[in-house]
Chains A and B, each alone.
Chain A
Amino acid sequence: MTPAPPPGPPWWMKKPALQTLIDRLRADGYEVLGPRMADGAITLAPLTNLAHLPRGVRDDQQPGRYRLTMADDGGYFDHVVGPHSLKPLVFPPRTTVLEVLRVRDGWEYRTPEPPQPKRAILGVRACDLHALAIQDRVFLGGAYRDPEYAARRAGLFLIAVNCSRSAPTCFCASMNTGPAVRGGADLILTELTDGFLGVAGSDRAAPYLAAVGERPASPEEQAEAAAIPQRAAAQQTRRIDPTTVHDTLMNNLEHRRWADVAKRCLSCANCTMVCPTCFCSTVNDVSDLVGTHTRRQRVWESCFNEEHSHTAGGPVHPTTKSRYRQWLTHKLATWIDQFGTSGCVGCGRCITWCPVGIDITEEVAAMEGGRV
């Protein structure tokens, strides 16, 4: 995508003004999605009212553990990232890439028209914006581009929020992907004690900001806002060194740690499924019994599944060890060779949502310090 224009001047707005923003976006044909409490987590779901936001809810995240705690007071965005990223909105878990119809003398192959929903996402975090930029490179940056991704991506209106705290699983500060939002969003909000500070990140956001902004933010308010993500960054204890991790992993492809992690790893694929950048998919035929109509269906796939590396001579990655190594080396090392950026944004979802709490920062740390 084109680089974001430089942020405009910051405006101060009252908290209820967020409702005006939601209403205006809806009036302009956007479905508004944002953080909502459901099933014991902060999910990404449609919302129409400020009251739908999880005010005062915090998420306690640890390896393999996620719990919500409530407070009577508190902000609308006191939580960090939940199980859902933007990924399914642009890269649907299940979609049809080709329709195949029986015709008189053979088959007709039809590319379906991809849907182009207009969606405004409220409360997007810096790590997820970086993840989207990474997916842009994967799906739109190569010789062949994905039309459905392009259609869905073009319909997104992104309202980012600076993180006011970090979960113990967050390590975006070390990956240079957060917690402060540096671009890639239409509108950037920071939640202050009694209002929001808003900055336009794109030309199309300007009218919205004008509608909800009360006055230019004071220098004190700007200083307060700037300190918020800094404080969140200072809370982070996990880290990966993005400048050395490529060589750490690629020089240790036979490290004994791979066998060690394979004993703990369930090869259940949860890490790849919650990862906001993992893009593996498989196209399968779904046909009717008569054989007149077949859909070529693309579904999310994972390098932890046997089918992923299938060849006539057997799977290339037959063991959990080889699959975990494929995942971690791709995410943190060969992704850089392929796309010029890391595949990891330090959101920590793979750590939180691993049922046995495998921590990629720990696995990398175990391999630092040379060959074993």
Chain B
Amino acid sequence: MPAKKPRLAVFKFASCDGCQLSLLDCEEELLTVAEQVEIAYFLEAGPADTRGRYDVGLVEGSISTPHDAERIQAIRAQCDSLVTIGACATAGGIQALRNWGDADEFAQHVYARPEYIRTLATSTPIADHVKVDFELRGCPVNKQQLLELISALVWGRTPRLPRQSVCVECKRRQVVCVAVARGVACLGPVTQIGCEVICPSYDRECFGCFGPKEYPNLISLGRRYQRDGHDTAHLTRLVRSFNGYAPGFRTVDKVLAKNNHAYDSQNPSPPA
């Protein structure tokens, strides 16, 4: 007996729409979803009622313009429960790379008429602006986790969104560790589970699409990779992708620089 039929809205900020598409991608389940929840606002799926209150707001995208920063406050006030979906909403997304550069300069290079562009100097996670109740990680989000979230809302329970490492799922699937067996710098040990370990299953390293796990020990993992000869700039770029601005990943450059310093002082002449 479901608690009640929740009224759901999907809002978009700076993003590629891929996470909203994940919802539409639930083809088989979509009709059931539509029976169980009232989708009151979902531009990607067509026009709908834009007024009123919502039990649940799913928010895709990051805050990157002054207008975004105002709009998210209004949305928060409209929604009883606010859920961020995807790396943009939870961590600022790939566009948060501007946080380490000069947004104005980028605009000069990219746009023919940069004076029309009104943007903030940073791209920031929704949680930097308003209180967020649940986070669905990933670039894009995982369809099963999305259904788990909706199912939990329908059944009035807390969604099960584990915060453990990608390694746990690699091992459950008996995937051979690419870091240990290939010497590849893999972010699995510091990245949250949820992606169904697609990359390691295809012999590739984890790129951290689901963001930092609970207690991501970048210091120790970074030190290991640095000692194995991985280039600090490469490691920084690896961490600074979709979730680079996530708390836990944000300071990777400082962590690695500090490691380098400690390494140098311990080993006056490190091997080439």
A binds B: yes
**Residues on A facing B (Cβ under 8 Å):** 38-41, 43, 64-67, 83-84, 88, 93-94, 263-270, 273-274, 284, 287-291, 299-300, 302, 304-307, 320, 352-353, 355-357
Chain A's nearest CB lies how many Å from the CB of B256? 15
- Asked whether, in the complex, the Cβ of B172 is within 8 Å of the Cβ of A299, the reply is yes
Interface extent on B, as a size class?
35 or more
Within 8 A of A (CB), among B201-246: 203, 213-215, 217, 219-221, 223-224
- A266-B164 CB under 8 A given contacts A65-B180, A84-B174: no
- Asked whether, in the complex, the Cβ of A265 is within 8 Å of the Cβ of B150, the reply is no
Chain A's nearest CB lies how many Å from the CB of B54? 19
* Chain A residues within 8 Å of B160, by CB: 284
- A305-B33 CB under 8 A given contacts A263-B219, A266-B217, A320-B215: no
- Asked whether, in the complex, the Cβ of A39 is within 8 Å of the Cβ of B181, the reply is yes
The secondary-structure label for the interface of chain B is: helix
Chain-A contact segment, one of B5-13, B133-141, B182-190: B182-190
- A291-B2 CB under 8 A given contacts A66-B180, A263-B219, A265-B220: yes
Residue of B nearest to A94 (CB): B172
- Asked whether, in the complex, the Cβ of A266 is within 8 Å of the Cβ of B176, the reply is no
- Asked whether, in the complex, the Cβ of A41 is within 8 Å of the Cβ of B220, the reply is no
Residue of A nearest to B184 (CB): A40
- Asked whether, in the complex, the Cβ of A289 is within 8 Å of the Cβ of B147, the reply is yes
Among B174, B180, B183, B190, point to the contact of A266 (Cβ < 8 A): B190
- The answer to whether the Cβ of B173 comes within 8 Å of any Cβ in the partner chain is yes
Among B154, B177, B178, point to the contact of A289 (Cβ < 8 A): B154
Alpha-carbon distance between A290 and B239 when the two chains are bound, in angstroms: 39
- Asked whether, in the complex, the Cβ of B215 is within 8 Å of the Cβ of A355, the reply is no
- A268-B189 CB under 8 A given contacts A263-B219, A355-B221: yes
* Chain B residues within 8 Å of A307, by CB: 162-164
* Chain B residues within 8 Å of A352, by CB: 180
Alpha-carbon distance between A355 and B187 when the two chains are bound, in angstroms: 10
Name the residue among B1, B35, B155 with the largest chain A CB count within 10 angstroms. B155
- A263-B174 CB under 8 A given contacts A66-B181, A306-B214: no
Alpha-carbon distance between A88 and B213 when the two chains are bound, in angstroms: 25
- The answer to whether the Cβ of B84 comes within 8 Å of any Cβ in the partner chain is no
Among B168, B182, B189, B215, point to the contact of A302 (Cβ < 8 A): B168
- Asked whether, in the complex, the Cβ of B181 is within 8 Å of the Cβ of A300, the reply is no
- A93-B221 CB under 8 A given contacts A65-B180, A284-B160, A302-B164: no
- Asked whether, in the complex, the Cβ of A289 is within 8 Å of the Cβ of B29, the reply is yes
Q: A40-B182, A305-B162 are in contact. List 10 more A-B contacts (CB 8 A).
A: A40-B178, A43-B176, A263-B219, A265-B220, A266-B217, A289-B151, A305-B163, A353-B177, A353-B180, A355-B177
* Chain A residues within 8 Å of B163, by CB: 305-307
- The answer to whether the Cβ of B23 comes within 8 Å of any Cβ in the partner chain is no
* Chain A residues within 8 Å of B186, by CB: 355
- Asked whether, in the complex, the Cβ of A355 is within 8 Å of the Cβ of B174, the reply is no
- Asked whether, in the complex, the Cβ of A38 is within 8 Å of the Cβ of B176, the reply is yes
- The answer to whether the Cβ of B269 comes within 8 Å of any Cβ in the partner chain is no
* Chain A residues within 8 Å of B151, by CB: 287-289
- Asked whether, in the complex, the Cβ of B177 is within 8 Å of the Cβ of A270, the reply is yes
Chain B's nearest CB lies how many Å from the CB of A307? 6
- Asked whether, in the complex, the Cβ of A290 is within 8 Å of the Cβ of B189, the reply is no
- Asked whether, in the complex, the Cβ of B172 is within 8 Å of the Cβ of A355, the reply is no
* Chain A residues within 8 Å of B1, by CB: 291
- A300-B221 CB under 8 A given contacts A270-B189, A320-B215: no
Among B33, B172, B181, B188, point to the contact of A40 (Cβ < 8 A): B181
- The answer to whether the Cβ of B32 comes within 8 Å of any Cβ in the partner chain is yes
Alpha-carbon distance between A120 and B203 when the two chains are bound, in angstroms: 28
- A300-B189 CB under 8 A given contacts A267-B217, A307-B162, A355-B179: no
- The answer to whether the Cβ of B165 comes within 8 Å of any Cβ in the partner chain is yes
- Asked whether, in the complex, the Cβ of B220 is within 8 Å of the Cβ of A264, the reply is yes
